[in-house]
Structure 1
Amino acid sequence: MKPWSASLVACGIVLGLSSAAWAQTTFDEPEWKESDAPPPPAFDVGKLVTFEVSPNSALVYGIDPAAITLSKSDGLVRYVMAASSSSGARNVLYEAIRCSTGEVKTYASYSSPGQWSWLDKPQWRSLYESMPSRHALRFAQAGACDGATPALSVDILVRRLKTPGFRAAE
């Protein structure tokens, strides 16, 4: 190797290492911490805003706008989701979406006597993995998330759910 090409290689390595170290110290975000999940909010099945999860689904999915919270401290969208069948059977979940990472966490499920059952050690799961239902992904797409950030307000989120195509008018 010629002396000048060895110098160029050495300079390239030094620049590469220093820029990698600079990028790590300059752009690292502080470690994210989830705030404690508050108790599930009260919900009213008579006030559900419904949206389509899949054209082939026999279930109707809906969210009570009063049961949606946007957590500023950790960037989560927490909500109560109800999935109802034509026979009247209903599955209700208390969940959160983390738009920045495309994940969902189920905290609790609601039983017919009116009691919430908290899950033991709930875990974050990808919105894009194969799940029994794609309701959380569809909710994120329908209005809960603006790409990697939560909706600016519950009002905007609800308008998006009620008005397909609302995003185009924003």
Structure 2
Amino acid sequence: MGRQEGAQFEKPIELDIIKYVSKKADDFKLLAREKDIHLFFETQIESFTTIIQETLLTQIIQNFVQNAIKFTPEGKNILIQTIPNNQSITLKVIDEGIGCDEDVDLFAPFKRVGGQKGAGLGLFLAKSAADTIGGTISLKNREDGVQGTVATLELQLNPTCKI
């Protein structure tokens, strides 16, 4: 929690979200391979540049992908996807895991589900990071007939960073 508090005072930088997420996806492919999970990155645009606190963005992406890997069985897939909107971009991490209980506040501190290890702070910190960078996050079950979770981060082109 202390690291995140420090990151909230990090100077925002100009960052190409597409290149950044693509690099992060490549990094996470190694972790996914250890569990025989196939991780893919898909985008519809070449670039989306905004001003953002990089460490906070990393915390959100890391939490989404690590949770997806944690709760997805071997041999299944995870898709990291970016979708452009008018003045925003949506980042989705779509897994083929156990899904989520949408009736539970998964963003509450110390909330643990699924019998997995952890302190139950990851999503709480991800939500705090999203709030700080002017984004919104959500978790929903997939609606395409496949079991799993869709973790979503919505970022504005010109976010309001709380400093």
* TM-score, scaled relative to structure 2: 0.24
**Which protein, 1 or 2, shows the higher relative CO under an 8 Å CA cutoff with sep ≥ 6?**
2
Q: Which has the larger radius of gyration?
A: 1
* TM-score, scaled relative to structure 1: 0.23
